[in-house]
Amino acid sequence: MYTYNAKVVYAGERMGKLCCSNGMELEFSAPPEFGGYEGFATPEDLFTASIATCLMLTFETVCKKMGIDFQSFECECESTLEEIDGREMMTKVVIKSKVKGSEVRKLEKALKLAKKYCLVTNSIKSEVVFEPEVTGEKN
């Protein structure tokens, strides 16, 4: 079992500072549509980014375990925020991943396994839609 910690400190008027247990620090804000500021990380950005980054790292781990290489990996993630029964929540996440490599079938399998084992997507209740694309030689 592992534990991870985050601390936030109010910095005034829709702003704060995030400090993580690994030493990372960043300023954050509410998004502009909720009275925040452009150019800062938002909780919505961090939620969405946690999915994309976790999927990439899980994919890399799966590929290493399977002994396969890939040339490139890109992932675009879009989260939809809606109000349901008076509460705002992320209701849907669409993940578009693009992988390029020479062993297409193995990379497709690795993406399926990354989807299965991604701890962040396994931890959220939003609908998660995967739209993978693998290019390269068929084998």
User: 119 is in which domain, residue-wise?
Assistant: 43-135
Name the domain count of the chain: 2
Same domain membership, residue 21 and residue 50: no
Residues 75 and 104 in one domain: yes
Supply the pLDDT for residue 138: 66
Residues 53 and 120 in one domain: yes
Q: Assess whether 16 and 60 both reside in one domain.
A: no
- 59 and 20 share a domain? no
**Cα 49-31-75 angle, rounded to 5 deg:** 20
pTM as predicted: 0.91
For 114-135, letters b (16+ CB in 10 Å) and e give bbeebebbeeeebebebebebe
| Residues 63 and 9 occupy one common structural domain | no
Q: State whether 68 and 114 are in the same domain.
A: yes
Handedness of CA 92, 93, 96, 99 (dihedral sign): negative
Asked if 49 and 31 sit in the same domain, the reply is no
Sign (positive/negative) of CA torsion 23, 122, 105, 74? negative
pLDDT at 51 over 80: yes
Residue 59 pLDDT > 80, yes or no? yes
* pLDDT of 124 above 70: yes
pLDDT in tens, 63-122: 999 999 999 999 999 999 999 999 999 999 999 999 999 999 999 999 999 999 999 999
- Report residue 127's pLDDT band, with 50, 70 and 90 as the boundaries: confident
Residues whose CB falls within 8 Å of the CB of residue 39, separated by 6 or more in sequence, listed in order: none
Q: What does the pLDDT read at residue 136?
A: 84
114 and 50 in one domain?
A: yes
